[in-house]
Chain A
Amino acid sequence: MAINQHFFRKTIIAGSGLFLCVFLVVHLSANLILVLPAAIARGLYNSYSTVLRESLFIQIIAYLLYASILLHVIYALLITLKNRKAKPQKYALNHYKQNSTWTSQNMGFLGTMILLFIVVHLANFWARIKLGLGAPVGLDAAGYQDVYEITNSLFHNIYFVCFYTLMAIPLGFHLHHGFKSAFKTLGFYHKKGLRIIANVALWYALIIGIGFGIIPFIVYFK
């Protein structure tokens, strides 16, 4: 039986992409704690972060998350390379913006920006908290690891504030196309439903993009 490699690869990209989309909602909601006044935010954020780290369920989800990112990136790279090979010669003149969005034409570039962000982001937090690399993490008054302090000090460095905020832009654009596209890849073909999904995708991308983009600034000026 034929393997339908295109379909298989795109299904993995869409499935892992949508899983990451759900993760982003949870992640953004938790990070909203950071904009609360310092006195409340520190305790809440540190206890939340400790509960997550110690929960078996979350540990499993975390591995799913790592796997999703890896699968998404690897298969995205594979189809992007294959798709380039299918169009070896470009047009001398191509007004593709008249028939499609810039975003849909540049998902690989946008994804690479996000990957760059993920690497820096993991180095900032995950490597320090989970792997214990870099300066040791202090404890707060309740004896929890003071993850709040890590974010707080990071977001008082203007370079990191700008980096985190700028990188929310490619994320928003990637999500706007990706969210819509994933449903079609997975075989959802109800016309009216797809129009609703297109609207949801726009709002989703705006909320996630602006949400992640604005938190570092609020913390900086707090």
Chain B
Amino acid sequence: MISNNKTFTKIIEKQLLNLVSNFPFIEEAVIVSSDGYVVANSKTNNKCIEKVSTMGSSMISLADTMTAELKMGRCVNLITENESGLVVIIHINSDLKIITVTRKVSQLGMLLTSTKKYAAKIRESIN
């Protein structure tokens, strides 16, 4: 449904390309549907990212379930800090999530701020 709409995908893709060109430490940015389909990707032909994005949709869904259980409302963003990189997942709306990946472990602040900013931009541009 979502992923078949070409103009819609084009708009989002353009935003993702802006994001990675304005913040070159971001290795990859992906938009994934809440049921785990890649809708747009800053890099074409990266097979591995499809699986990772689907995992991201499971993770943020689980995080939402966890925070609801704690009566803390919806999860705003999910960060995984890893030995050699960072991943951020943020809701764009109920259907779409943005996932950004960097190898620069020191850039958490920038990664969060820029991803949030573009999540908001994309939300606006598709409304």
Instruction: Tell whether A and B belong to one assembly.
Output: no
Instruction: Write the residues of chain B forming the contact surface with A, with a CB cutoff of 8 angstroms.
Output: none
